[in-house]
Amino acid sequence: MTVNGYSGSQEDYLKRLARIEGQVRGIARMVENDTYCIDVLTQVSAATKALQAVSLGLLEDHIAHCVIDAAKESDEAGQAKVVEASAAIARLVRS
């Protein structure tokens, strides 16, 4: 059974994601209430930064656990995890 690298921090990630979910609901209410565009954009930026922080934490956990564990298993497994992490980084950079 594979254990995800973030499993030790799962509760922290879930709390952070719940806060982000609340932020997004708040943004939706702002739009419903015709809030000034710049104020909405400020909140969107804050939610985006919060999601980026979660993404970076997950990426760090992936490298610290999944990549290192795979590298200990074999060179091929380690290389596969590095390629996987690189693809994830590329997706994050494009977003």
One digit per residue, the tens of pLDDT, for the chain of length 95 reads 456 777 778 999 999 999 999 999 999 999 999 999 999 999 999 999 999 999 999 999 999 999 999 999 999 999 999 999 999 999 999 97
Domains of the chain, with CATH numbers? 7-94 (1.20.58.1000)
CA distances from 35 to 21, 25, 55, 72, 91 (A): 19, 14, 29, 53, 32
Q: What is the DSSP string of 21-66?
A: HHHHHHHHHHHHTT--HHHHHHHHHHHHHHHHHHHHHHHHHIIIII
The reported pLDDT for the residue numbered 3 is: 61
- At 75, the amino acid letter reads D
* pTM (2 d.p.): 0.82
